[in-house]
A and B are shown apart, each in its own frame.
Chain A
Amino acid sequence: MKHDLQHRSRAHFAWAGLLAATVAPAVLASPPLPADALPGGQTTVHATGRTAFSFPLANLGDAERTRFVVGNSFFRRNWVEAPASTTARDGLGPHFIARSCGGCHVQDGRGAPPEFRKGLHDAPVSLLFRLSVPGTDVHGGIVPEPTYGDQLDNNAVQGVQPEGQIDIRYRKVQVRLKDGTRHTLLHPTYRLRDLAYGPVVPGTMVSPRIAPQLIGVGLLEAIAEADIETNVREQAARPDAIKGQTNRVWDVFAQRVVIGRFGWKANVGTLAHQTAGAFLGDIGITSPPFPRQACTAAQEDCLQAPAGGHGEQTEIDANTLEDVVFYQAALAPPARRQPGHPEVIRGQRLFQQAHCAACHRPSYTTATPLFPRMSSPAVVGQTIWPYTDLLVHDMGDGLADHRPDGRASGRHWKTPPLWGIGLIHDVNGHTRLLHDGRARNVTEAILWHGGEAQASRDFFARLTAAERSALVRFVESL
């Protein structure tokens, strides 16, 4: 993982995006490209390689670029243990998973499960484990495990015990396609071990969640709620099994229930809530909306650990938190690669025929996000191509985590956006997909689809090798 970290060299994107901005019109002039060549509309940057996910929106304003750089620094740089000589970024932990946002969202990209060597694996970093017990809270959300809270933190500051560790095992599952091609899928099981504060209560549910790439999240936030509701209605009217639904979640910034858009179960409504929640849960940084550490009553060492920050204030202040939210909202989707290639076009047609696009809805025109102060006017009114309906779907037994989260059941997963999927290898050096990274490439990810998506998966499994390759190539062109 350390090889993916690109230290300082990432900083130049604020400039390079500017160059990309001037390029776009020239690109469109000749030769003609498909309308969906620029997935982010005018926000699209022309970027490939390791830094492809780290550029600011091509149409971002000058003053906003300064804010982008500042937000980036707080996103990427390590938080340190309190007390420390540095005062801007102290307060790590007591419990944590990573020392910075960029620790999991490496290069603003996607995490992967830990590598296995001789049957052993390192502690996962960009794969976190949510915990809960049966029941719902007042807003319909989850009930945290009483001793460990709503996630397992496998790291801690000096003098505090990490909550525990996780063992990952993969069972090999053979799949045979119609033309005889065989694929081996990895079916994971997860086991908690070395729990520092005693066993979890019986009935505890565990759900793995990989850190996704962040490009375009500001645009996803600008999709109108009405458009998401339309997706529900259109799917309800379909004759087939595809019946997506919205998750409805409490938002700490809006102070009301909103449609969930982020997280693998659409269990978070806004980037701001997601960010403040991750600061607290994953890095142990308190913020105005979440002013208290997530230590439970049973975790005495956690409760007694020194806090960082500045006296009465939280470890990250409201302005800085908003800058970090803004930074993410301003990350641009990169242009597609070879969208006009005949094989890609053929694959795009098959994608339609397989009804992939029923859930992976190609396009929207964006509206205004809920919190404009934490986003940019650049995201408004863009024709975008994210390939998601932002709804949760029953994806079958194979993928089920059996852990409900709001209105999402233990078999539900949100349709993830597909933009940037073909660049994950460039950025993060792997092609691990799905909510826990079990799929090692696009083909495996498709073959894992079940439940509402079973028919689409079966359509794919009946295709010829050339057709499957074209469909995958289309997906990887996104």
Chain B
Amino acid sequence: MSTPINTSKRQFLRQATLPLWLTALPAAVWAQTPVTPAAVVRFHAELVHATYADTLAAAETLQAAVASFVKAPDAAALETARRAWLAAREFYGQTEAFRFYGGPIDDDKGPEGRLNAWPLDEAYIDRIQGRPEAGLINRRSVAITKAHLSQLNEKGGEENIAAGWHAIEFMLWGQDQRADGAGQRPASDFIDGQAPNADRRRLYLSVVTELLVDDLRSLVTAWAPGARNYRQRFEAGGTESLRKIIIGLGSLSRGELAGERMEVALNTQDQEDEHSCFSDNTHRDIVNNALGIQNVWLARCVRRDGSLLQGASPAALLTQVDAALAQRLTQQIALSVTRAQAIQAPFDREIIGGKDAPGRQRVQAVIDSLVAQAKGLVDAAAALGITRLNLVNA
């Protein structure tokens, strides 16, 4: 009885043929057969691949819209590109549950910093109000190529962001100067003779978009089935891979989403501390992050084509060991999604005010739920017998 955790783990492995205690999980088709850690890990890899593939497809649509826009810049084409950016972010936000364990997205060579770094210093990229000469775009000696922008990204400071979603966002929307809406960059910024260096602005937008698509493609490749790649190692990783899945969920829940993306913003009440500040899309970022966590937990996601992908889930695995905990955690994770959906746009207004401001209370409610679910995930990890694997491995 030295480690009760191990005892229960052994029990659940031995009792694999016992009927499962079903929770309120939707469509538990997999409940006929016991869920094994290996099955959960295998399906997780499929889910990751599918979500990145959908993100890539949406980003390619964005790339096409950007190509049309830079060919013939006008307000309508700009609006189309903006919509394509917003649509692609719906999927990318869900992929952030696959971060934080040194996988393809954020290992030593991972593209995370080139894909989604924020906040960015606008003046590093382009002119801003009061500084017409600022930015890489207005320094004609600076080469605008994928390799060079990669190199310039985060050079000399973490906010010197040259590439990624938010660089594209800044190109499409411009600075957010208004209290009640997003940035208002005019299409004329991209038209020769109407704005200085419009040619370089067009080039910049095309190149950063291409870089984004390249990086997303590399992630799809890393998680592609049947190849000698990260996915192959991940699927063979057993409980260690299960640990990674839970680290991703817990890290996004507590430190990143609750902490970096909401608690800091509540503290400073500053627009710079909102994730997608140019487009005022932060409220969707929050929902999609929360949804991404739920996708992983329940091993299900709605594909870009509307179909439902579903398989062996960490929730089902936990149910076999501690059904009450599994149910509580599943409900908590669902509550986070519901509460996130209640945040009103724009987020930079939602965070303003005193303690009892309704917007701040809505944001705080999401934080509280995320903090509770992070604790639940720690309990879940312990129940699944994977805590010892968090030991150092030098």
Contacts and interface: CB of A to CB of B under 8 A. Distances in A.
B259 interface: yes
Nearest to A90: B272
A62 B391 CA distance: 23
B147 interface: no
B391 A27 contact: yes
Interface string B86-125: 0000000000000110100010100011001111011100
Contacts of A18: 250, 254, 374-375, 378
Interface residues of A, number: 52
B382 A12 contact: no
Interface string A88-111: 110000000011101100000000
B366 to A, nearest CB: 14
Given A16-B250, A23-B387, A78-B121, A99 B263 contact: no
Contacts of A69: 255, 259-260, 263-264
Contacts of A337: 392, 394
Contacts of B271: 85-86
Interface stretch (B52-60, B152-160, B335-343): B152-160
B288 interface: no
Interface in B215-252: 247, 250-252
Contacts of A99: 156-157, 159
Contacts of B316: none
A187 interface: no
A112 interface: no
Contact of B157 (A22, A78, A85, A338): A78
Interface residues of B, number: 61
Contacts of B39: none
Contacts of B193: none
Contacts of A118: none
Interface in A8-26: 8-9, 11-16, 18-20, 22-23, 26
Contacts of B387: 19, 22-23, 26
A62 B112 contact: no
A12 B100 CA distance: 7
A81 to B, nearest CB: 8
B253 interface: yes
B113 A5 contact: yes
A158 B184 CA distance: 27
Contacts of B394: 48, 337-338
A66 interface: yes
Nearest to B175: A85
B305 to A, nearest CB: 30
A76 B263 CA distance: 15
A102 B177 CA distance: 28
A8 B272 contact: no
Contacts of A181: none
B158 A76 contact: yes
A7 B112 contact: yes
Interface string A61-89: 01001100110010011101001011111
5 contacts: A9-B99, A12-B250, A12-B256, A16-B100, A46-B391
Closest CB pairs A-B (n = 6): A12-B251, A337-B394, A15-B254, A69-B259, A88-B270, A12-B255
